[in-house]
Amino acid sequence: MLLEDRRFLLQCLEDLDASLRKLNSRLFVIRGQPANVFPRLFKFHPFLLQSAPLPHPFLHTLSYHSSPSCFSLTHNSSPSCFSMPHNSSPSCFGLTHDSSPSCFIVPHNSSPSCFIEWKITRLTFEYDSEPFGKERDAAIKKLAMEAGVEVVIELNGGQPPLTYKRFQTLISRMDPPEPPVEPLSDAFMGRCVTPISDDHAEKYGVPSLEELGFDTEGLPSAVWPGGETEALTRIERHLERKAWVANFERPRMNANSLLASPTGLSPYLRFGCLSCRLFYFKLTDLYRKVKKNSSPPLSLYGQLLWREFFYTAATTNPRFDKMEGNPICVRIPWDRNPEALAKWAEAKTGFPWIDAIMTQLRQEGWIHHLARHAVACFLTRGDLWISWEEGMKVFEELLLDADWSVNAGSWMWLSCSSFFQQFFHCYCPVGFGRRTDPNGDFISFWQDLLRGQTTRGVGGGWGAMPFFATGEPQTQRGTAEREMEGGLRLAVLPLPVPENEESWLEVNAGPST
């Protein structure tokens, strides 16, 4: 996990702690692994033993959260204490529209030497549909039961649908999700006050990037500031586009669309800063106001439903992120080419459009969904013929919004390994980029970071790049057309790749998006 991901996470925790302070409470960040920490929390804690009796039974309930899915069409409890899942990132930080958070577990090599008895009698947590979450939660549940703690959990059984159309059919028959709970208030909290020690910041404060081993000298401000406060501000901006909601028109794509937007929400959904249920109902309410109380179509919730679809598809498939042993994944004889994979991941392919996208990903931790389509197609079935699993790993490391289920599902879909309908639909690494960014503005935006590499057209947008009638770039050896079984193809050699016959790449020159 890179610095941007950690910074976003810590900002989320800082924002959560600030919100809790307004309710006379604090966030307790505990160093350690959940399976090691929870037994101690159930039994020991020196500070509370020295303090007055707990004023309210609310404090006897420890809520632990790990699931990345909050949308109530699947399942949702009201978590208030978080633990890091497989990729060391929490998935739900809600104070305003979930119950009050009180504790966050941070993986650490050692646990606190001194714990206090929290007198916990109930543990609640949201069902995690992903394989690593099930294993971890089972261990926590077992520990809680052994300690005499009542465990409350909501399960969602049944077989998952494997096509989006079928998924839509099923949820259209379901009752609407329950509205989100109201924001917590002083009146709701009543006399409930969390005892806070003078050394709380030292013992239970949010760790810094430096404490986690990151060098922050010269670190620029965050493109995506973390936290629920920022998420709620962004959703209001997002919903200001009433014309889009009224007509359900997709925003027109241009070079500016490729840049991080102040209305972007995906990292906040992934980390749970923004409640999926809240987003769902805000969309619904606005649509009905604009459309005079008419019922909104399912397509209005596309962003949320695709997310839920992949969660649902992965819930009973522990091999969802693998080709081998995955019952829904097509077996494809992908090439093993570590050098080409590294060139792609490090933005050194020689294709300015692809390299600009990957540079943005490495710098900001986010890229537009169509940019994801372009680089995923380039890595897999379009150009390099490298397994989608390798691309998924890079995205998991670099993307702020890389949910496990959504990330794996998207890569299977874009590589035509599963969920696909039109396998011949490709994203040309030049033609698609030219249509999306005809003036080369996006490439020029990243040219300072790309400068110095042997790339085609960097510094002058698309104008400095030589083209043939096919729309493919010229190479050092020229562009050789040849007839091959299945249609016309071009043999091209990206400049950073060593010049030899074995390194030539076959780029599909057929139908492209």
- Name the binding residues for FAD: 303-310, 401-403
HEC profile of 88-153: CCCCCCCCCCCCCCCEEEECCCCCCCCCECCCCCEEEECCCCCHHHHHHHHHHHHHHHHCCCEEEC
Helix, strand, or coil (residue 499): coil
178 vs 69, 72, 123, CA distance in Å? 15, 7, 22
Within 10 angstroms of residue 241's Cβ, the number of other Cβ atoms is: 13
3-state DSSP percent of the chain in helix, strand and coil, to 5? 40, 10, 50
Helix or strand run (H / E) with residue 81: strand 81-83
DSSP code, position 218: T
3-state secondary structure 294-308: CCCCHHHHHHHHHHH
Contact 392, 407 (CB under 8 A): yes
Residues making up the annotated binding site are 303-310, 401-403
- Report the distance separating Cα 344 and Cα 339, nearest Å: 9
Angstrom CA distances, 374 to 385, 393, 469, stand at 14, 17, 21
Structure tokens at 337: 């080419």
CA angle 152, 271, 363 (to 5 degrees): 160
